[in-house]
Each structure stands twice: as structure tokens, then as C-alpha cells.
Amino acid sequence: MSRDNLKYEPPILCISCGKPLSEIPDSENFEMVDSAVVGTLEAGYGSIHDGSTLQIGICDDCLGRHLTARRVKVVKSVFGN
């Protein structure tokens, strides 16, 4: 995921459960999301969506379940968790 040009474009729904995700009040962009993660995916060659930049979000509850089930992998963490 890239944070380049990330802009709050509501409504963003959790890709897993559909719950609406909300921006933390007074934040200037969608990097600061209440109990969720929002980011962008760059579709590359091989995908029928090649050339598209996609915005997706997932709530912390669903992300935790996907991490436990190893459907999502942490590739970097500045906090070491």
C-alpha cells in the first residue's frame, strides 16, 4: 500500500464486514482513521485492473481476524508488533 496522494474520500466501508469507517475528527487526511486502516493499492501488470489506483479500508476487528488466519501479512512495522 502506498500513502502517496492519499485523500479522504468518504464513504469508505470495511472491505470485510462493510462497516462505515470514519475519519478521526480534525485530521486533514484519511491516514488517521478511527480503529481502521485505509490505504491504496496500485494494480499492476497481470491484473485486469492494471493501471488503476484503488482505495480500500478495513476495520481493526476484521484486520485482526485476517492476520490471525494469515490472509494478511505484516511486512513492516515501525513499532515492532
Closest approach of Zn ion to the CB of residue 74, in Å: 18
Closest approach of Zn ion to the CB of residue 29, in Å: 21
Q: Please tell me whether the peptide bond between 10 and the residue prior to it is cis, using omega within 30 degrees of 0.
A: no
The label of the residue with cell 484519511 reads: 30
The yes or no reply on residue 62 touching Zn ion (CB under 5 A) is: yes
Beta bridge partners of 57: 14, 38
Cα–Cα dist 1/69, whole Å: 20
Where does this chain touch Zn ion (CB under 5 A) — which range of 2-10, 12-20, 40-48, 73-81? Answer: 12-20
Applying CB under 5 A, the residues found at the interface with Zn ion are: 14, 16-17, 19, 59, 62
